[in-house]
Amino acid sequence: MTALRGALADYLALRRALGSRLERAEKLLGQFAGFLEAQDDGTITVASAVTWASLPQNASPRWLATRMSVVRGFAAYLHALDPRHEVPPAGLFPDPGGRPVPYLYSGTGIAALMTAAQRLNGPQRRAAYRALIGLLAVSGIRIGEAIRLDDDDLDEESGTLLIRQSKSGRSRIVPLHPTAVAELRAYQRVRDQARPLPRTGALFTTLTGARLNYPGTCTTFRRLATIAGLPDRPGAHPTIHGLRHSMAVTTLLEWCRDGGDVRARIPQLSAMLGHGGPRDTYYYLHAAPGLLALAGARLTAYLEEPS
Exposed e or buried b per residue across 255-292, where buried means at least 16 C-beta atoms within 10 angstroms of its C-beta: bbeeeeebeeebeebbbbbbbeeeeebeebbebbeebe
Q: Is pLDDT above 90 for 222?
A: yes
Domain ranges for the chain? 3-81, 107-227, 242-304
Mean pLDDT of 53-64: 87
Looking at residue 130, its pLDDT comes to 97
* Residue from 142, 148, 191, 245 carrying the catalytic annotation: 142
Supply φ then ψ for residue 52, to 5 degrees: -70, -45
79 classed as catalytic: no
Q: What one-character-per-residue DSSP string does 212-267 give?
A: P-HHHHHHHHHHHHHHTTPPPBTTB---TTHHHHHHHHHHHHHHHHTT--HHHHHH
Mean pLDDT of the chain: 88
pLDDT at 287 over 60: no
Of the candidates 190, 174, 189, the residue with the CA atom closest to the CA atom of residue 124: 190
Residue 98: per-residue pLDDT: 65
Q: Catalytic residue, from 167, 211, 237, 265: name it.
A: 167
C-alpha distances in Å from residue 256, one per residue of 199, 226, 262, 280, 296: 45, 33, 6, 19, 11
Q: Is 142 a catalytic residue?
A: yes
| Mean pLDDT in residue range 37-49 | 93
- How many residues are recorded in the chain? 307
Q: What is the mean pLDDT of residues 18-39?
A: 89
Q: What is the pLDDT averaged over residues 18-33?
A: 88
In sequence order, the β-bridge partners of residue 175 are 160
Domain range 107-227, CATH class: mainly alpha
Residue 245 is a catalytic residue: no
pLDDT in tens, 119-152: 999 999 999 999 999 999 999 999 999 999 999 9
Task: Say if residue 65's pLDDT is above 80.
Answer: yes
Q: What is the pLDDT of residues 110-120, one digit of tens each?
A: 999 999 999 99
Instruction: Judge whether 275 counts as a catalytic residue.
Output: yes
Q: What is the mean pLDDT of residues 40-51?
A: 94
Residue 167 annotated in active site: yes
Out of 62, 241, 265, 282, pick the active-site residue: 241
SS3 195: coil
Cβ neighbours of 192 (radius 10 Å):
13
> Stretch 148-157: mean pLDDT, rounded?
95
